[in-house]
């Protein structure tokens, strides 16, 4: 995956009914984020990226758990 493909993939996941953000806006925000990271010392940059990845993984896990709970509730409701 190249940088442009990364931008496009992020844009597809960001543009939802609740937050209507287009590809250009997403690319601009990511470009500014990368500019800020480029000006940080390497250790601080790595720390920020590490924290961002951890937060993303945590959010993904939370969504999976919520989906499992929803499915479990439906199964319980059907038994009644």
Average pLDDT over residues 53-61: 86
| pLDDT the model gives residue 61 | 75
Domain that holds residue 21: 3-79
Is the pLDDT assigned to residue 65 strictly greater than 70? no
The three state secondary structure string of 39-50 is CCCHHHHHHHHH
What is the tally of structural domains in the chain? Answer: 1
| pLDDT the model gives residue 20 | 78
pLDDT in tens, 33-51: 999 999 999 999 999 999 9
Query: What's the chain's average pLDDT?
Result: 82
Q: Which residue has the tokens 């496009």?
A: 8
Q: C-alpha dihedral over 47, 50, 54, 60, to 10 degrees?
A: 140
Q: CA 12 to CA 23: how far, in whole Å?
A: 8
User: Would the pTM of this model clear 0.75, i.e. be above it?
Assistant: no
């Amino acid at each position: 995956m190249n940088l442009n493909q990364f931008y496009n993939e992020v844009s597809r996941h960001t543009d939802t009914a609740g937050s209507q953000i287009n590809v250009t806006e997403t690319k601009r925000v990511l470009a500014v984020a990368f500019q800020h990271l480029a000006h940080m010392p390497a250790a601080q940059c790595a720390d920020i990226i590490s924290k961002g990845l951890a937060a993303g993984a945590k959010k993904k896990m939370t969504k999976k758990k919520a989906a499992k709970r929803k499915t479990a509730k439906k199964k319980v409701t059907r038994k009644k």
